[in-house]
Amino acid sequence: LKFEGNRSVALVNKSCDFLKEECLIPASWWVEKNKGMVLDGNGMWTLADPPEDDIPKPEEDRLPIVV
């Protein structure tokens, strides 16, 4: 799905939920922090990478396995 001109398809779901799930654009994303949507270098709205603090890290202090 693509608009004619230089507009992002994500603008369709800015304040509604018309796009199909396969577009990966959250519904009504124009809120505080835009539900993770950011403007990329081409002026298109895309999902931002999560902050490093939000990415789960494996636990280093796991209990040893007792057999």
The pLDDT score that the predictor gives to residue 33 is 65
Give the pTM: 0.43
Residue 34's CB: how many other CB atoms inside 10 A? Answer: 16
Residue 37 CA to residue 44 CA, distance in Å, equals: 10
Residue 50 phi, psi dihedral angles, 5° rounding: -70, 150
pLDDT along the chain (67 residues), means of 10: 74 88 86 74 84 70 67
The pLDDT score that the predictor gives to residue 1 is 61
Residue 19 CA to residue 37 CA, distance in Å, equals: 15
Burial of 25 (0-12, 13-18, 19+ CB in 10 A): buried
The pLDDT score that the predictor gives to residue 15 is 84
